Chain A
């Protein structure tokens, strides 16, 4: 059977890895290529790179980083951040990305999902969503979690999958950076609505958060950043622990 996946996420700004708490107060962490090697060696199943630069120069640094990582590391690479057009897909795929995640770009232009899926296949298009509870509703947020779109996040996910998104990253703003566990209620709601793989993001603080996550059969992968970057949780140890808990893991 398929193994559950452990995915470290690298937010890259001006060619360096950074990670914020509740999307605020970025702290410089490390060199992305070095960190990618470290994660590959410790057994990461996939790497996610988010380009959080806005400038043209920053973007060029990012694709350079991506090209270097993809030349040296042979596990799936997902890239997000600044993906607004099919041209942006092309730009990062040429540098070695396998999957491209869309977020605000798809909110601004929902046809982007379908266009990209048609050109590159569903498996290439990842719908990334930042979601927060507002007035008893799971609300979709844009622009890195700063802007309430007023859109129901679950409706958005269903439409995204229908248009061709092959996977969903659900990042709960409510649990992000809090390190008290993944947002299981939000994840379960999504898992009941869509049949594509779901990557849980936001809230991982310790190994037990992952074992709890994977008792929910609709969830395929757990994504985290700072707990891995700070070596608070070691991926190899985490996978041994999860396997001992009965979760299928590639080790």
Chain B
């Protein structure tokens, strides 16, 4: 069973539907025991980092997530990926879960071409930088769907794939041990995204 962490952030309809469409058993939950019993965990999320971290802290699940992340595959999606890092500079400075080394910064600050629109929203092609079992069914250069204004940086050692936006190589996929993260939404990235989720279910 895949446990989708429910901490009151974001719309989980598509994520659970996409797993169901793949024939996978998934449950949206905030129950610590269910996270312990699950084969793997997905940490979703949309919105602002500080607010989401506060809500995640309030569930009391952070120590459980930390412990389980050592034992089974965990996938953070979008803001859920950003939460895996050490800190974020979205509206102030907020500590993250420190499951992947690096920080989350404003894309706007690092783009030299100021005519580029932020949020980075739409389909961008993902360049695979390091091969990984997560890419078992994914081809280099396939398009994935992004919606975000902040991005992970200073995380080169963990970065498996990125998408070019102006001068910035936007961190697309990261991995540290049994913790993975995607900045884009696999559950909104059509067939390519479903194949990525299928590979995650086989890790």
Contacts and interface: CB of A to CB of B under 8 A. Distances in A.
Interface string A57-95: 000000000000011101110000000000000000111
Given A2-B123, A122-B119, A74 B165 contact: no
Contact of B165 (A1, A45, A93, A94): A1
A40 interface: yes
A1 B17 contact: no
B187 A1 contact: no
A147 to B, nearest CB: 31
B11 A93 contact: yes
A197 B194 contact: no
A123 B119 contact: yes
Chain A: interface secondary structure? loop
B119 A195 contact: no
B161 interface: no
B7 interface: no
B17 A5 contact: no
Contacts of B125: 3, 250
Contacts of A3: 122-125, 143
A183 interface: no
Chain B contact patch, size range: 20 to 34
Contacts of B190: 40, 74-75
B117 A94 contact: no
Interface in A41-63: 45
B119 A71 contact: no
Interface in B99-152: 117, 119-125, 143, 145, 147
Contacts of B91: none
Interface residues of A, number: 28
B20 interface: yes
B27 to A, nearest CB: 17
Contact of A71 (B17, B117, B143, B189): B17
Contacts of B193: 74
B123 A74 contact: no
Nearest to A221: B122
A121 B78 CA distance: 14
B121 A197 contact: yes
Given A75-B190, A121-B46, A195 B13 contact: no
Contacts of B165: 1-2
Interface in B18-32: 18, 20-21
A75 to B, nearest CB: 5
A75 B190 CA distance: 5
Interface string B70-110: 00000000000000000000000000000000000000000
Nearest to B16: A71
Contacts of B59: none
B123 A98 contact: no
Contacts of A76: 145, 188
A95 B11 CA distance: 9
A121 B47 contact: yes
Nearest to A123: B147
B14 interface: yes
A74 B187 contact: yes
Nearest to B191: A74
A100 to B, nearest CB: 11
A94 B190 CA distance: 20
Contacts of B13: 70, 93-96
B17 A250 contact: no
A195 B117 contact: yes
A220 interface: yes
Contacts of A95: 13
B154 interface: no
A166 B21 CA distance: 30
Interface in A195-251: 195-197, 220-221, 250
Interface string A124-164: 00000000000000000000000000000000000000000
Given A1-B164, A74-B187, A96-B17, A123 B121 contact: yes
Given A3-B122, A75-B188, A123-B119, 15 more contacts: A1-B164, A2-B120, A2-B124, A3-B143, A45-B122, A72-B21, A74-B21, A74-B193, A93-B13, A94-B11, A121-B48, A197-B122, A220-B122, A250-B125, A250-B143
